[in-house]
Structure 1
C-alpha cells in the first residue's frame, strides 16, 4: 500500500471513532481527535457565524449539546477522503437524529447534510482542524436540537 492509502485508512477509522464518540459520549477520546485550534462552521444550522475554537471549547460544546438526557445518532455515508502530505480533507454525507427525554418535553429532530472535515497529521496523529456542515434538509422540533441542560 502506498503512504496515501495508509493515511486514508487511518482517517476512515478515526472518522468512525469521531462520530461513535458522539453517541458514546467518550469526551476524552473526542479531545484526542481534535487539534488545539478548530474552525467550526455551522451557519447552515443557524449559527450566526463561523468560529475558531480551541479543542477544549469544541469538546465542551459537544458535551453540553449532546447531554445524557438527549439521545443522538449519526449515520455516515459515502466518505470521500483526499490526502495531501500531512493534510487531508473528508467530505461525508450525514444523517443525524436527536431525541429529547420525555421528562424534558420529548420530541425528535432530524437532519441530513454533508460534513467537510479537515485533518492534519500532528505529533498526536491525525487530528481535526475544521468542521463545516452543510444542511440539505431538517425536520422535527428544532428545540430538541438546541436543547441544553443549563
Structure 2
C-alpha cells in the first residue's frame, strides 16, 4: 500500500464532505456527482441492502424513495486513505444524527447511528468518484420507527 498524494487526499476528503452533505440537504444531483457510473454497495451489517452493484442513479433513487420526516446530520472522522494500483481505499468513522421535524407520536423524536465506512475511489473523467461503499454499523439508538429505511429491515442499524 502506497501513501496517497496530499492533493488527492484533500480532493477525496472534499468528495466525502459533499457526499454526506448531499444526504443532509437531499441534494440528489450533488450525490450522483460524487459517485462513479456504477457503484458497489454493502449495507448488510445494518440489516438493509445486501451487497451488490448498481448504477449511481439507482443508488440516488433508493435514497430519494426513503419516506421519512427526518432532519439528518452526517459527519465523519478519522479518514485513512491508501493507494492500491489505480484506486484508493478509504476508511472513516461515521455518526448520523436524525431528528423528526414533524414528530407527533409517542417515544423519542430521534434515531441515531454510528460505525465505520469502507470506500473505494477511482478516477472518472479526471475526478475522484466513489466506486464502492461498505457500511459497518456499530450501533443505532432511539426510535427506529422514525427511519423510513428501517421499516423494511430487521437489522440493528440504519441508513447512511
TM-score by length of 2: 0.81
Change (3 A) 1:9 1:147: closer
Change (3 A) 1:66 1:4: farther
Answer 1 or 2: which has greater helix percent.
Answer: 1
* Matching of residues 82-93 of structure 1 within 5 Å: 82-93=82-93
Q: Aligned residue for 1:51?
A: 52
* Matching of residues 40-79 of structure 1 within 5 Å: 40-47=41-48, 49-65=50-66, 69-79=69-79
1:84-134 deviation per Cα after TM superposition (whole angstroms, max 9, x unaligned)? 453111100001122223357473111110011111011151111111011
Q: Aligned residue for 2:142?
A: 140
Structure 1 residue runs of 5 or longer lacking an equivalent are: none
Contact 2:32 2:56 survives alignment (8 Å):
yes
Structure 2 residue runs of 5 or longer lacking an equivalent are: 151-160
Mapped to 2, the partners of 1:3 and 1:76 lie a distance apart of 19
RMSD: 2.3
Mapped to 1, the partners of 2:13 and 2:49 lie a distance apart of 30
1:18-62 deviation per Cα after TM superposition (whole angstroms, max 9, x unaligned)? 111111222111111111111111111112521211100101112
- Give the Å deviation of 1:147: 5.1
Q: Does 1:30 align with 2:31?
A: yes
TM-score by length of 1: 0.85
- Give the Å deviation of 1:66: 7.0
Contact 1:7 1:83 survives alignment (8 Å):
no
Aligned residue pairs: how many? 146
Q: Secondary structure of 1:102's partner?
A: coil
Q: Aligned residue for 1:129?
A: 131
Mapped to 1, the partners of 2:126 and 2:91 lie a distance apart of 22
**Which of residues 101, 109, 114 in structure 2 aligns to 1:107?**
109
Change (3 A) 1:82 1:7: same
